[in-house]
């Protein structure tokens, strides 16, 4: 007995989403090289991030196919261990204040919580499922204990979204909602950078984000206006930003992935960054995995997008690998001799199967 989507259609789904991923990531790499060639930029960081996402995605697809429960569980534990063992997640001088590595810590823990929740939905034994959900809740508590308020909030949001995903019948609406959420956070970031937020709200946001960060965003938007198409070149924001050059310890980042793309690679770079995120959501929408697994991974990736919109999380290789790994785990088709997970999901919802 098979579900309404037969084996051939399942293969077509994977082929379409995989082909879209190859095109999007290839375009991101090519555009970074073009922008760098025109303005003598340094595309190595961008290329490394793209490679990290691709490698993580491939590893996730393999691990998720062979070990649909153990692989995401191991990934969640590895993320927590990495955060505890390597607090700054990167070698070299550490920028402690007013910015720092907090965004990367929150991002890794958020992805870890998402992986634990995906493992819980893939598990069939009630006790194991409960234990994995307890692990996800423990990751949120760990974020709070480490002083990462944003990490605690996003981890908690992922756990709650995962629980709610079990009651959603049509994943398309959930995926669309996640896309709207990521767009809203990005739009708010852009509005703050462009002084388009009312005074009272702007002052409140500036107090939470720090004035230094907001000034970096202003510089990024100013550089975008100077070179709207190609940008000033990858890796050159730190050289051209007034705020960054006047700071004693600066990592040369505007601490906002969309604004960094806009400043260094122009509007085309922003479109490609959005396309990469949309590709992951598209792959989750097309996956044969159960709806709760797809929406849980989507919620974690959306939380990562929100963190990256107001921080430098994507500048850390561990975060890029983790994002690709989670997407791969949630889109892998488990190798099993029993009924497929999509069949089990359909039966659980009481929908009719086509013989």
What is the rounded distance in angstroms from the CA atom of residue 261 to the CA atom of residue 233? 9
Residue 348: enclosing H or E segment and its boundaries? helix 341-348
pLDDT for 243 equals 87
Report CA torsion sign: 70, 76, 80, 85. Answer: positive
Instruction: Please give the DSSP secondary-structure letter assigned to residue 355.
Output: -
**Quick one: average pLDDT of 84-93?**
59
Phi/psi of residue 125, nearest 5 degrees: -75, 125
- Ranking 10-14, 147-151, 192-196 by mean pLDDT, the lowest is 10-14
Which of the given ranges, 5-19, 79-93, 304-318, has the highest pLDDT on average?
304-318
| Site of tokens 């999901």 | 345
**Quick one: average pLDDT of 122-142?**
96
What is the rounded distance in angstroms from the CA atom of residue 197 to the CA atom of residue 201? 7
| Cα–Cα distances in angstroms (integers) from residue 12 to residues 3, 173, 184, 223, 276, in the given order | 15, 22, 32, 42, 20
Peptide bond into 320 cis (omega under 30): no
230-239 pLDDT per residue, tens: 999 999 998 8
pLDDT for 178 equals 96
* pTM of the predicted model as reported, rounded to 2 decimal places: 0.89
Q: Could you tell me if 276 and 17 are in contact, meaning their C-beta atoms sit under 8 angstroms apart?
A: no
What is the percentage of the chain residues whose pLDDT exceeds 70? 85
303: nearest Cα among 52, 121, 295:
295
Query: How far is residue 338 CA from its own chain's centroid?
Result: 32
What is the percentage of the chain residues whose pLDDT exceeds 90? 67
């Amino acid at each position: 007995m098979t579900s309404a989507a037969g084996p051939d259609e399942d293969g077509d789904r994977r082929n379409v989403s995989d082909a879209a991923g190859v095109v999007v990531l290839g375009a991101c790499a090519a555009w970074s090289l073009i922008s760098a060639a025109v303005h003598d930029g340094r595309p190595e960081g961008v290329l490394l991030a793209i490679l990290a996402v691709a490698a993580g995605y491939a590893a996730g697809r393999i691990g998720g196919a062979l070990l649909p429960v153990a692989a995401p569980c191991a990934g969640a534990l590895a993320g927590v261990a990495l955060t505890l063992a390597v607090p700054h997640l990167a070698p070299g001088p550490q920028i402690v204040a007013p910015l720092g590595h907090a965004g990367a810590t929150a991002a890794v823990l958020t992805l870890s919580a998402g992986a634990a929740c995906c493992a819980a939905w893939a598990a069939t034994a009630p006790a194991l499922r409960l234990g994995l959900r307890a692990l996800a809740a423990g990751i949120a508590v760990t974020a709070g204990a480490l002083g990462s308020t944003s990490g605690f909030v996003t981890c908690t949001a992922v756990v709650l979204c995962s629980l709610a995903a079990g009651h959603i019948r049509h994943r398309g609406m959930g995926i669309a909602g996640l896309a709207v959420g990521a767009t809203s956070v990005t739009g708010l970031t852009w509005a703050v950078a462009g002084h388009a937020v009312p005074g009272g709200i702007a002052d409140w946001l500036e107090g939470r984000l720090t004035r230094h960060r907001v000034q970096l965003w202003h510089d990024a938007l100013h550089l975008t206006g100077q070179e709207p198409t190609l940008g000033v070149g990858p890796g050159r924001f730190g050289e051209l930003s007034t705020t960054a050059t006047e700071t004693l310890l600066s990592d040369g980042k505007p601490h906002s992935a969309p604004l960094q793309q806009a400043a260094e690679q122009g509007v085309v770079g922003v479109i490609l960054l959005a396309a990469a995120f949309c590709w992951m959501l598209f792959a989750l929408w097309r996956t044969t995995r159960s709806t709760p697994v797809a929406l849980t991974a989507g919620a974690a990736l959306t939380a990562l997008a929100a963190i990256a919109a107001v921080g430098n999380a994507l500048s850390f290789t561990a975060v890029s690998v983790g994002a690709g790994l989670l997407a791969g785990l949630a889109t892998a088709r488990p190798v099993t001799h029993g009924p497929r997970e999509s069949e089990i999901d359909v039966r659980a919802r009481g929908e009719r199967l086509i013989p």
